[in-house]
Structure formats: structure tokens, C-alpha cells
């Protein structure tokens, strides 16, 4: 996390009122000709990004993340709201007057200009003296390790090299803000990993530059961003540090999109169902805290309202006992401090990541307390196996299935096997039920597919 993000992870203004590098105030973008009543491309987005901070806008296609970036760059005119750069209102100003560095998905190098001329483009637009342009171009090319390619045309470069040039060109004008619109999406997997490391290195070399990074790939966001904004249907669903969003997702969509959580609907059990272990049937090694499904009330402390303990992840989050619609019950912690179980009528969703689900031994003592299901598919993923498991004894209820990532060297069941699944204690998180993400619900497969959509 950069120093700027360490200063403020919540977006509040610090530094004695020093303006943010980028600030969006209730910005909406509605494309001309879009029928009334249609969801705007970007709706009511408010966001502050400090100098030196990297914010990733993460979301599936059509979520509005690129539109947000274009609104900052001036490529799209907001229909409502205000865009401020370093405290200056630039809402109606053209891109040329904003002084931002922009790297787009396909790099957009000028095909007829040589590498050096591409990098010099912005400097020449600013009518800098030739000697200054030459020196700055050399400096930028050296920074991205492309000094030996200065005389080449873009078509003579690989995708990764073109990307380096696009970054050098954007940084040549010494912008205070660098906007990156899916800069790695056009690269193959290996190149993407290399360039991600390169971007992390560059990030370190530019401590005062604010970066806004648009991606649909959660791993890029987790690796690069100080804060992540999760977007969906043109709206900012969640905003927080990678750790916050990953371990304490406040919304079902965030849990599903960032880490591909399984979403299991359930109901918070009424008074008297207090327990303290976090979950029953949690680990294949039965020595871990496992309480019985039926006799889980071990502390016996009664409360008014839903059952709750203080033993969530790290012991800080309130933990509730949840009866799942798919059968069984789990102890799940609440990630959002503002969450009020009573406001949901008890109906909530439990988010569990695939790696937090474990197979319970077939004849073990924990078998009685886990989630039962039938293996629908087994997928080898190199480091381990991924199972899709239809919950229920018969497995016929295909609408309710979960994805399980097996630990390395774990025994791999076969398709059609009846298995019992437990949840690692503290890994189940309560999020408000969101019926609008039915496609992701209780099926982590689509959720993780959504992460790469």
C-alpha cells in the first residue's frame, strides 16, 4: 500500500484540506440517444483519489468502470456531476487541458510515428524546445527499458513493448494522474504477469502520481491497487482496500466478483442458537473447532435478537449462526459494521470462498454436520482441483451448487460421488441478500467466470 493510501484508506480528506488528485462528485454519464429509463453508463459516482494513491476500478463488462475513466480523462462528458483535478473543476474542459496521462487497452500508439516520436508527441504538443524533448524521450524510454527501440515503428514491437511505449508516452508529459484502461488485457498470460510486475515497479518510481486503473481482473487489482472500487451496472458497489474487500466484503456482489465466493442464502437463527466455534464440520482434520449441527449452543449465553458471538475472523466481527436454505447451518461473521440483522428479517446470504470449503472424511465424526452434495464436475487447475458440487442429498437441485477448491494433495472425488463439505472457521461472511445477482448465487462457477468476463 502506498503512503498516500496508508494515510487515508477511507477517502476522507487529509493533509489540512489539500485537494485530492482526482475527485468525482456525483458524476453520471448518459450516452446521447439512450432511451429514458435506461440505466446510465455511469450513475452518481463519487470518488476521491489522493496524490500517490492507486485506485483500481474493478467490475465486469458494462459495469461503467471505463466510462468513469473516460469521464476523468474528458473523453466522455458527464451528464451530471463534477470532475475535479487537484481541486480544479475540469468538468467541461477538453482532454487537452487536463494534463492527464492515459494508457488505453490497445495502447493506441500512432502507427505511422516511430517509437521516439510517439513518446515525444505530448511534449511537441506542448511546444517544448527540441533539446528538452529529446532528453525527456530518452529518459522515458530508459525508464521502461525501451531505449534501443527508439527508431522502430509500433508494428515492429510486441504487445508488451507497445504497452511500455504507451506508458512512456503517457508519463512523458509528467502528469499528476495516470489513467490506465485495462492496460494488460491485450497481453497473453505470461506477458500479463511480467507487465504487472513492471507496473508495480513503476508505481514505486512514481510516488506522487495518482493512478486510476480499470480492470476486470481481480488479481491485477489486488496486486496493484491501494484501494479497489467494485463497480456494477454503472454504480460503485464497494470501495475499500484490497484486504477489506477480500476479507470483509460488504456486498454479495463484491464477495462474488472479488475472489469468486459461493453465495449461500440462509436465515439468521433466532434467539438461543448462540455458538462460538465459527462453523461446524469445518476441517477435514477433525481436531479443529467443530460443533455439532444440532447441538451447537455451547456457550449457552442467551441474547435478545439473533444468535451472535464475538468470535469471528480476528475476533473483531460479530458472528451469527445461519441456517442455510441448502441445508445445514454455519457460523458466519458480519463484515460490515453497519449491518443490522434485524433489518433483513433474518434473511441473508453467506459468502464462502472456494478455498475455504473442505471435504470432510466420509466416515469421520464431522460428516454429520457438514453440507451434503453430489460432485457435478472435477476440473484440474494445475495446482489443485476444483469441484462443482450440487448441494442436497440427491444433488438434483442444480440451482444450488458450490465450487470447492481442493487443497493440494487432497484426495479427489469423482463425478457423481456423494460428499460432505465443511467450512474453515471464520471464513464464512454474512452479506445482505441481493436477489439481482441470481446468476452468481450459490454457484461460484459463474462468479469466478464473472471475474474474467
Among 43, 100, 255, 403, binds another protein (CB under 8 A): 100
Which among 91-99, 219-227, 341-349, 388-396 is the span making contact with another protein, rule CB under 8 A? 91-99
Q: How far is the CB of 190 from another protein (least distance, A)?
A: 25
- Please spell the DSSP secondary structure of 63-103, one letter per residue: SSHHHHHHHHHTSS--SEEEEEETTEE-TTS-GGGT--EEE
Q: Which is nearer to another protein, 43 or 172 (CB)?
A: 172
**Grid cell of 277 as nine digits:** 466455534
Cβ nearer to another protein, comparing 99 with 346: 99
d(CA 395, CA 398): 7
Instruction: Give CA–CA dist 198/214, Å, rounded.
Output: 17
Kindly state whether residue 52 participates in binding another protein, applying the rule CB under 8 A: no
DSSP structural state of residue 308: E
The whole-angstrom separation of Cα 24 and Cα 3 is 22
Does 29 participate in binding another protein (rule CB under 8 A)? Answer: no
Among 47, 56, 104, 143, binds another protein (CB under 8 A): 104
Please report how close the Cβ of residue 17 comes to another protein at its closest, in angstroms. 28
| Cβ nearer to another protein, comparing 164 with 433 | 164
State yes or no: residue 99 binds another protein (CB under 8 A): yes
Nearest distance from C-beta of residue 105 to another protein, angstroms: 8
Distance CA 164, CA 346 (A): 52
**Which one, of 432, 430, 431, 425, lies nearest residue 314 by Cα?**
425
Rounded Cα–Cα distance for residues 55 and 47 (Å): 10
Convert residues 107-136 into a mask of x (bound to another protein by CB under 8 A) and - (unbound): -x-xxxx-------xx--xx----------
Q: What grid cell was written down for 326?
A: 441448502
What are the b/e assignments for 225-248, b being 16+ CB within 10 Å?
A: bbbbbbbbbbbbbbbbbbebbbbb
Cβ distance to another protein smaller for residue 77 or 293: 77
Place of cell 530508459: 142
Nearest approach in angstroms of CB 146 to another protein is 18
Interface with another protein includes 71 (CB under 8 A)?
Answer: no
DSSP E strand boundaries for 182-284: 210-215, 227-232, 235-241, 262-268
Q: Rule CB under 8 A: is residue 31 a binding residue for another protein?
A: no
Site for another protein in 135-194 (CB under 8 A): 153-155, 169-170, 173
The grid cell for 196 is: 504487472
Considering beta carbons, is residue 27 or 119 the nearer one to another protein?
A: 119
Closest CB to another protein among 113 and 191?
113
**Interacting residues with another protein (CB under 8 A):** 70, 73-75, 94-96, 98-102, 104-106, 108, 110-113, 121-122, 125-126, 153-155, 169-170, 173
Amino acid at each position: 500500500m502506498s503512503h498516500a493510501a496508508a494515510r487515508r484508506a477511507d477517502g476522507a480528506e487529509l493533509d489540512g484540506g489539500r485537494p485530492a488528485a482526482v475527485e468525482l462528485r456525483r458524476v453520471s454519464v448518459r450516452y446521447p440517444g439512450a432511451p429514458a429509463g435506461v440505466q446510465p453508463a455511469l450513475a452518481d459516482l463519487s470518488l476521491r483519489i489522493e496524490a500517490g494513491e492507486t485506485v483500481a476500478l474493478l467490475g465486469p463488462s458494462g459495469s461503467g468502470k471505463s466510462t468513469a475513466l473516460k469521464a476523468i480523462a474528458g473523453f466522455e462528458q458527464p451528464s451530471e456531476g463534477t470532475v475535479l483535478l487537484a481541486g480544479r473543476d475540469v468538468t467541461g474542459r477538453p482532454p487537452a487541458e487536463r494534463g492527464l496521462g492515459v494508457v488505453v487497452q490497445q495502447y493506441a500508439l500512432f502507427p505511422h510515428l516511430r517509437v521516439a516520436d510517439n513518446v515525444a508527441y505530448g511534449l511537441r504538443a506542448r511546444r517544448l524546445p527540441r533539446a528538452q524533448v529529446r532528453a525527456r524521450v530518452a529518459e522515458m524510454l530508459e525508464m521502461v527499458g525501451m531505449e534501443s527501440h527508439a527508431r522502430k515503428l509500433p508494428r515492429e514491437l510486441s504487445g508488451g513493448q507497445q504497452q511500455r511505449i504507451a506508458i512512456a508516452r503517457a508519463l512523458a508529459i509528467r502528469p499528476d494522474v495516470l489513467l490506465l484502461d485495462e492496460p494488460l488485457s491485450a497481453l497473453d498470460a505470461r506477458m500479463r504477469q511480467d507487465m504487472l510486475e513492471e507496473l508495480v515497479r513503476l508505481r514505486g518510481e512514481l510516488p506522487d502520481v495518482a493512478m486510476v486503473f480499470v480492470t476486470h481482473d481481480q488479481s491485477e487489482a489486488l496486486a496493484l491497487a491501494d484501494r479497489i472500487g467494485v463497480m456494477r451496472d454503472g454504480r460503485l458497489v464497494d470501495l475499500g482496500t484490497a484486504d477489506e474487500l477480500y476479507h470483509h466484503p460488504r456486498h454479495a456482489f463484491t464477495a462474488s466478483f472479488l475472489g469468486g465466493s459461493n453465495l449461500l442464502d440462509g436465515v439468521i437463527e433466532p434467539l438461543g442458537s448462540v455458538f462460538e466455534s465459527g462453523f461446524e464440520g469445518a476441517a477435514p482434520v477433525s481436531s479443529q473447532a467443530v460443533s455439532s449441527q444440532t447441538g451447537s449452543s455451547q456457550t449457552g449465553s442467551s441474547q435478545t435478537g439473533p444468535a451472535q458471538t464475538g468470535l469471528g475472523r480476528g475476533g473483531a466481527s460479530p458472528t451469527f449462526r445461519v441456517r442455510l436454505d441448502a441445508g445445514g447451518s454455519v457460523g458466519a461473521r458480519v463484515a460490515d459494521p453497519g449491518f443490522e440483522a434485524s433489518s433483513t428479517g433474518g434473511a441473508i446470504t453467506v459468502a464462502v470462498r472456494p478455498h475455504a470449503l473442505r471435504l470432510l472424511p466420509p466416515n469421520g465424526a464431522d460428516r454429520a454436520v457438514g453440507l451434503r452434495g453430489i460432485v457435478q464436475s472435477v476440473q484440474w487447475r494445475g495446482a489443485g482441483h476444483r469441484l462443482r458440487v450440487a448441494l442436497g442429498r440427491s444433488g438434483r437441485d442444480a440451482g444450488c451448487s458450490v465450487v470447492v477448491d481442493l487443497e493440494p494433495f487432497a484426495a479427489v472425488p469423482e463425478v457423481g460421488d456423494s460428499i460432505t463439505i465443511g467450512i474453515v472457521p471464520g471464513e464464512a461472511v454474512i452479506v445482505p441478500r441481493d436477489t439481482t445477482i441470481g446468476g452468481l448465487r450459490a454457484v461460484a462457477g459463474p462468479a469466478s467466470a464473472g471475474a474474467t468476463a
